Amino acid sequence: MKYQFIQSHSDEHKVVKMCQVLNVSTSGYYKWLNRQNETNTERQRLKNEVKQKIAQSFHESFGTYGSPRVHQDLIEWGYSISQKTVARYMQDMDLRAIPLRKYVVTTDSDHDLKVYPNLLKRNFTAPTPDTIWVADITYIRTVEGWLYLASIMDLFSRKIVGWSFGTSMKTILILRALEMAITTRNPDENLIHHSDRGTQYCSNDYVQVLKQHGF
């Protein structure tokens, strides 16, 4: 027998009497108990697995996902589960979504710095690699607060060729991204650098680096 259910001779006697009343064999009764135990164990294993996946989805979103989006992740991962169950499990695990700020301003174009002409004119295609780079700043919520990401994308391959993380949007943030891109790609002076008109990209320090390389 896989599991021991009888604790005493008195318990065994009660089981025998119960089986006689129900007109079933004692061996059949114990087999049924074993199957029930195995079923409960499998259900608990699956529940624990689902809870791990819920925690994965929640923490990968930096705590911004509620039950609808966590449920969507679970469905995409192949789990058959209702949103109501996901919400109940999240409540049991004390996982509550933290809403994102609606908007964080990353561009301050109200300045007196020189603004350069728009050479692309909304034609975001490039004939060859490292002929047009597009620079931007975005923000990301982490468990330790907001981080800002400066990135430079090669418009031909759509590959990020330079990037930098920081807790503020100062010019040094985008300078580090630019320096990484220049070091790793070594473009020639025919490159076009495209960005918004924010103070960081129009700053003297940033423009000076662009001019030094003939961009």
> What digits encode the pLDDT tens for the residues 139-154?
777 766 778 889 999 9
DSSP 121: T
Contact 51, 93 (CB under 8 A): yes
What's residue 143's pLDDT?
A: 67
- Does pLDDT of 1 surpass 50? no
Domain check: are 118 and 69 in the same one? no
- Does pLDDT of 14 surpass 90? no
- Alpha carbon distance 163, 141 (integer Å): 17
Q: What does pTM read for this prediction? A: 0.48
Q: How many folded domains does the chain comprise?
A: 2
What's residue 214's pLDDT?
A: 93
Any domain includes 35:
yes
Domain boundary among 92, 121, 142: 92
Domain boundary among 92, 122, 157: 92
> What digits encode the pLDDT tens for the residues 29-79?
667 666 766 666 777 888 888 888 898 888 777 677 889 989 999 998 899
Give the residue, 2 or 176, on which the prediction is more confident: 176
Residue-number span of the structural domain to which 190 is assigned: 100-215
Contact 129, 101 (CB under 8 A): no
Domain check: are 153 and 137 in the same one? yes
Domain boundary among 92, 113, 144: 92
